[in-house]
A and B are shown apart, each in its own frame.
Chain A
Amino acid sequence: MENINKTILIADDDIDYLFQMKMHIESFGFNVITAESQKEAEAIIQSVKPDLAIFDLMMESDDSGFILCYKLKRKYPDVPIILATAVTSETGYSFGVNTDNDKQWIKADLYLEKGIRKDQLHKEINKLLKI
């Protein structure tokens, strides 16, 4: 499979969510690196360039995901990022990454609600990796 050499970085402070995501994404044939915190993810991107990253929004701080997006894009502008969170529907904060205005401050390529179905996740990843 051609996915075999692609590496996906996942950062989430919910270790169960992280475990499940890793399991699913490995089943798609990708390599997975996990980070349980913003700090850990920052350390990883110092030495590793992933092919795609999936970040949780709220980790150590409420905007950990945004900060990670910003830092990863500054280092590797071409790496696509998915921002995943369960928070929107409850807080009423809504933000997309579809308008130019949003893109100016949210450096993510795709914004996903947590609890996405496995096959949909696979599709979105393939689309971003242009597979």
Chain B
Amino acid sequence: MSTLTILVVDDEEGIRSGVSRILSNFQVSYPFMDADLSFDVLEAATGEDAIEKIKTTKIDIILLDNKLPGIQGTDVLEFTSRNNPDILVLMITSYASLELALKATSHGAHDFIPKPFTPQELKSAIENVSKHIFLRGMTQKMKKEGKEVRFQFLSVLSHELKAPLNAIEGYLRIMKEREAGPEIAAYDQMIDRSMHRIKGMRNLIMDLLDLTKIRFEKKTDKFQVVKVSEIAQLAIEAINPYAIQKDVQIHLVDQSKIEINADPGDIEIIFNNLISNAVKYNKDGGKVEIILTIIDQKLNIIVKDTGIGLTQDEIDNLFEEFFRVKNEQTKHIMGSGLGLPIVKRVVDLYNGNIFIESELGKGSTFTVVLPM
């Protein structure tokens, strides 16, 4: 059995003792709750006394009358929402001041009970509010366990997968109904767009596969001595056709022929994502510089571009799954929003770090630091 503490704040003694009496042997139980809830009732005759009790005792629910001899109920409400926002406040109010009650709910009161109330009305209000407290506790617990994160990931994922399907389906319907006339040429652009969306979806699925691999596989058995610049070179070759289209020059600087003990697949993921971003978000005729160096016995992979740059706000969100920088320059650039979260995950796996420096309009520098 767990107990919630309720503070009744009312200058009428009858109300206070009535509430205490009604709730003294009241219990709330739900089928999905391990234990029943019972209630401890504390009383305060003034707002000042209430605040004193809030400061010294752990209180879950406050039943608060607005008309008090000294400071008003709304002052107590304000104090609570500022200092103890977890406490749920129920305003006790007469029907005449219903408007005030509505105002109070928008200022942080959880709900209100119109006065005079019957024991049953009080009980059902308390039942509701304790259910709320219980659910809030569950949500916090779920958050801690990462369940909500996973739920959110899946829901955004399904949105990301559904949007291109909707687009393609829409084009197919238009074609089926011959909405642009009988000539097939009239539909060329729609076909191109459909192919483009399919390509985007395919990339997303590839990225998802990468992500799940990292999530579930501990690949120390695949560790080997890796020549870092060789992998960088492979990644450069893969992105080069696109770089040529955009007239972006890629330079690799590796003076010390660095080797690291790692899974080559992981290092490839890092290079593929960082270099392709550096090209994708670059300006036409821009540059990408990749520097491999050892500082304090740690491998530093530095990828510098002369691209559109990032705001601090964007940097803060860059490792969130499915986050994409949305602006005029990026709107036609395809991306899953998973590349950097994947890089981050790999880097974490190696107990490394990733740093971003960026200047809007000038370019960004991504630095991955891996312990050797």
A residues adjacent to B (C-beta < 8 A): 13-17, 19-20, 23, 27, 36-37, 59-60, 86-87, 90-92, 114-115, 118
Contacts and interface: CB of A to CB of B under 8 A. Distances in A.
A93 to B, nearest CB: 9
Contacts of B152: 91
Contacts of A16: 167, 170-171, 193, 197
B179 A27 contact: yes
Contacts of B351: none
A17 B170 contact: yes
Contact of A13 (B158, B171, B326): B326
B166 interface: yes
State the 5 A-B residue pairs at the shortest beta-carbon distance, nearest first: A16-B167, A20-B170, A90-B158, A90-B155, A91-B155
B176 to A, nearest CB: 12
A30 B167 CA distance: 22
Contacts of A115: 166, 169
Interface in B228-278: none
A114 B331 CA distance: 21
A103 B179 CA distance: 37
B326 A60 contact: yes
Contacts of B167: 14, 16-17, 20
Given A59-B326, A92-B155, A23 B166 contact: no
Contacts of A27: 179
Contact of A87 (B159, B173, B327): B159
Contacts of A15: 193, 331
A15 B166 CA distance: 12
B166 to A, nearest CB: 5
25 contacts: A13-B326, A14-B163, A14-B167, A16-B167, A16-B170, A16-B171, A16-B193, A17-B166, A17-B167, A19-B193, A23-B174, A23-B180, A27-B179, A37-B331, A59-B326, A60-B327, A86-B159, A86-B162, A90-B158, A91-B152, A91-B159, A92-B155, A114-B166, A115-B166, A118-B173
